[in-house]
Structure 1
Amino acid sequence: MRPLRILVAAAIAASGVLLASSPANAAGVTATFTKTSSWGSAFEGKYTIKNDSGSALSNWKVEFDLPAGGNVSSAWDASLAKSGTHFTLSNVGWNGNVPAGGSVSFGFIASPGDSTPSGCKVNGADCGGGPVEQVPGTPGVPIATGATNSSISLSWGASTGTVTGYRVYEGSTLKTTVTGTSATISGLGTCETHSYTVKAYNGAGESPASGSVSAVTTGCTTGVPSTPANVTVTGSTNSSISLSWGASTGTVTGYRVYEGTTVKATVTGTSATVSSLGTCEPHTYTVKAYNAQGESAASAVVTGTTTGCTNPDPAKMPGAPYYYTGWGNPPSISTVMNATGIKSFTMAFILAQNGCNPAWDGQRPLTGGADQAAINAVKAAGGSVQISFGGWSGNKLGPNCSTPDAFAGAVQKVIDAVGPAVVDFDIENTDEFENYTVQDRILNGLKIVRQKNPNVKIVVTFGTATSGPTSHGIRLINQAKALAVPIDNYTIMPFDFSGGANMYQSTVNAAEGLKNALKSANGWTDAQAYAHMGISGMNGLSDQQEVTSPATWQQITDYAKSKGLTRLAFWSVNRDRPCPGGGVQENCSGVAQTDWEYTKITAGF
């Protein structure tokens, strides 16, 4: 779901205080701060970015400081990064473009309540306007100037423009930050191959990455090949798992695939298939290159699972709108059930707390609080719950759990504590949906979840275009097939997708695109694809001002029923109350309706 979901319920608003960073007629790009409300421990603030530069902006970034002990706990309509008491808020994917003369705003919750941001910069320049600092030019391609058993030293050509410093990356991981044009990366292992790029940075952001350089630490045994890299699972059957990897340097006779200390396959190329395995079994492998002098060090471990896992019948799940207790004036769940006949809810959201540990909204315990009380009330009334992991924002388990086993272990804690009928993995944004390493980690973890919980249905939920899944969604669908992940239902979110005036037709078009993608990946018929599909809408007014009226939601529900879709949800029960003309809110729909009207329609699914 979009950034509305990260709003925290504010205390009763104090009178708004406007603290403008510049005169209204200042030239250039400005950012004006407004303290919209405050209470004892915190305040709600808003920045409005105004583009008077004469040309369109393609992105924006606002930075500011708070006094010692200050913190920004959440934000909406912006991506939040923190460094001590320095905070950086950048545009999200849909609001980066600001035309000349246009403006855009974002909001946040910060503490303490009597504090005010200082040192504001927008795109590297003072928030009062003036020339906008540009990112530096691309650094020269680095060269390796030295190596030890545990370090590699680099140097590179200086970037043009204003340069604050340089960051050295290995893949997407920052390894070190320096102010000059050389660096040493330490803490490495002996005889390891590493590849690095360099980016220059200043207040406006980072330059493009330089070209890459590869280097090897010393300490290699004479004549032994280098360690194989990038070992991946490329496929599996009921009785086999296939692997591939990058070639080792040096003289290579062949490669040995190990499970623990046991050799499972010996090959001369850079791929292998380990056979004679059992169905639905996880296996963990490493690869070593060898020649007459001996073996290389072992590669990083990779885990795969054979197919043949028992997959629950993809029968229709009851309509289950999203419900959250952490904000949005949560209604009595029993009252909603009695008024509408709804029998199931999707409880949101499980996030990470202090690493790979699950918690409601990343802060409330799994049991003993309002979330468990709501779940108990649903079950006592003969209903069931779906538990949703992830969402658009927040600290998620996918990036914080380092392996599929760790991710599955975190999910298992929730299943053991709550006893859901369905687990819903809301895979969104750049940290999960667009990060293919994390995508694969989640998908491989879901195989372990299924193995341990054969009767719990598994759903993945993700955004869409009006024509169907985006490239990231297509990749997720195809990778799930390649890795043999037993997913019961693929649910799209047809909103905040430029749906236009006819949200019914845009939703149908997106669903048909999903059907075609599932057929292509899995070889399914229309009926089989529909039986693995779901729709999760946004009742009333979306963040993009799209309108899904009660009548439109009835049309969408009728379409889902007629095609045999097996899941229907919407965001959210908390918003299923009228406030026509009220805009996008966390506790009402922004349109004319009766209380719980969307929930009542969904109960008929």
Structure 2
Amino acid sequence: MPRRRWQFTVVLAALLVALGVAGPPAHGAGGVTATFTKTSDWGTGYEAKYTIKNGGATALTGWTVEFELAAGQRLSSLWEGSHTVSGQKVTVRNVGWNGSVAPGAQVSFGFGVSYSGAFAAPVTCTVNGAPCDGSPGEPDTQAPSAPGNLRGAGATASSVDLAWDAATDNVTVTGYDVYQGETRVGTTARTSFTVSGLAPKTAYTFTVRARDAAGNVSAPSKPVTVSTTDGGGGDPGPGGQRKVGYFTQWGVYDRGYLVKNLETSGTAAKLTHINYAFGNVSQDGRCFVVNQAGQGDAWADYQRRYNAAESVDGVGDTYDQPLAGNFNQIRKLKAKHPNLKVNLSLGGWTWSKYFSNAALTDASRKAFVSSCLDLFIKGNLPKIGGEPQGGPGVAAGIFDGIDIDWEWPGSEGEVGNVIRPEDKQNFTLLLAEFRRQLDAYGAQVGRKFELTAFLPADPAKIEAGFEVPKIFDYLDFGTVQGYDLHGAWEKTTNHQSAIRVVPGDPSPPARQFSIETTIKAYTGKGAPKGELVLGVPFYGRGWTGVTNANNGLFQSATDGAPGTYEKGIDDYKKLKNLLGQGYKLHRDEASGHAWLFNGTTFWTYDDPIELTRKARYARDEGLGGAMIWSLDGDTAEGELMTAVHNGLSK
């Protein structure tokens, strides 16, 4: 904006105040800023957001952001705001719900841009008529300081984790550009970044530059040289594909599935990540192992002693060692597979009841995240029931991050779960707090900690509870539910995990679910494909009392089929044995699902053929890999894990 017009605005505002007349909403000079952040870039387009922060003493009652796109760019989409476009100039005004901004608070809107040539940020920006950087109208020409203490925070055979200390600026630092030699390989708003697609056993040199809202760029940081490893378990496969498996705490009981089974089946060598399920969320918004009501299972987590035959390394536990149970066995597994990452998954179907309480306020989010990091990242486990296990730091280093499994923000999960209309925004704020505390602690100990989340399949639940693509500003990746699309809670048989909508599906249109429609629901809202990891099932769902027609598909049923542990559900390793016992296998190759039927009982399930098909779909669609619920459903030889592993390979 020309300087003369800005001076006129100041004079007019002063005159209005002198006359006792209310002026326009607070300007940038009064502490309002609008900060540009690019969130993704695929070479022919990018997604970004502007964050409007009220640094003044009075509330905003509305805001307008005007920015000019660089030459060769075109706005393709915009969300969380009302906009008009004139040539390269974009004008964005608040919508009804995000126009009121209290002092110290912030809101944001996102947008997508297509472009040709090299990326360039918007060339001008004003918020409520004033420069977006909060300056008094003079152009900001001061560059940020160079980022300090650039360091390697971890490496695999194909990636390097980098971290650095924040740069400073006369207004504000808006982002960082990461360089591999002279080539920029990434942009982030965080003080950490993972460079992927690298060659094994190779040394790479990196630098980082800081940027501000005016486009000023700092001098490069001091370079750091980091070497990739020679491979092994936990390393993403070709194309950086992730292979994430859930290990269930309770699987060590009836199923007898121990951490050792991950090694003897060959599964550990094929995984990049394990999600340990689940950490518990209390009514007052804290992570806990065992609460006052005795809920929780410290015995399975870190007290149970394993003998030599049950142990990953063939060495039995002693009674008085400070850490035993699953946690100690995971530590041993990671010693065999140093690139394997293990994240602690919080919530799940049962323990999501009080997530809304934990995420409700800034204070509750800070306290909740701190309690989770204290237990599982810092490893400060309580001593419980007179057992010798537990104590400060006994589990430190076991977990590489946190997985958020809130089922579901803003919509019903298990009956009795707390649900609030503000869950959708609070979920994003909770992720931001996890990211802030994980990065801060990671800087202290020289590690990069991951943050992931489990995301629903139902488009209605996506809309009700998730600010896509905002959440991916904080997540390393999200695992997307590709199963439980139908089940015995319905009275008509159906698939539980089809790639495409099955022709003839009798469900209402809004409930004709498929993996394809779910992925499109996320990408249509701006989710980056490479950060979506497709969930696949190692179990099946069944009905009994089924009408004997159409091979049992889309037929009425009287109840859920008898299962080994629970009605209407059973593990693959159990279902595969039904073949030859009166059941026939049926397969829909076009839609991508299979089922078993014996004339009265119907099971929808995934065998190695269907899991290979789903893994190849994820690979071919450019998704970030596959996730398994849950590993204990596989055979002793790990035949399903092998199918997923091979299907993701080129």
TM-score interval (norm. to shorter): 0.3 to 0.5
Report the TM-score when normalising by structure 1.
Answer: 0.43
Greater strand percent: which structure? 1
Greater helix percent: which structure? 2
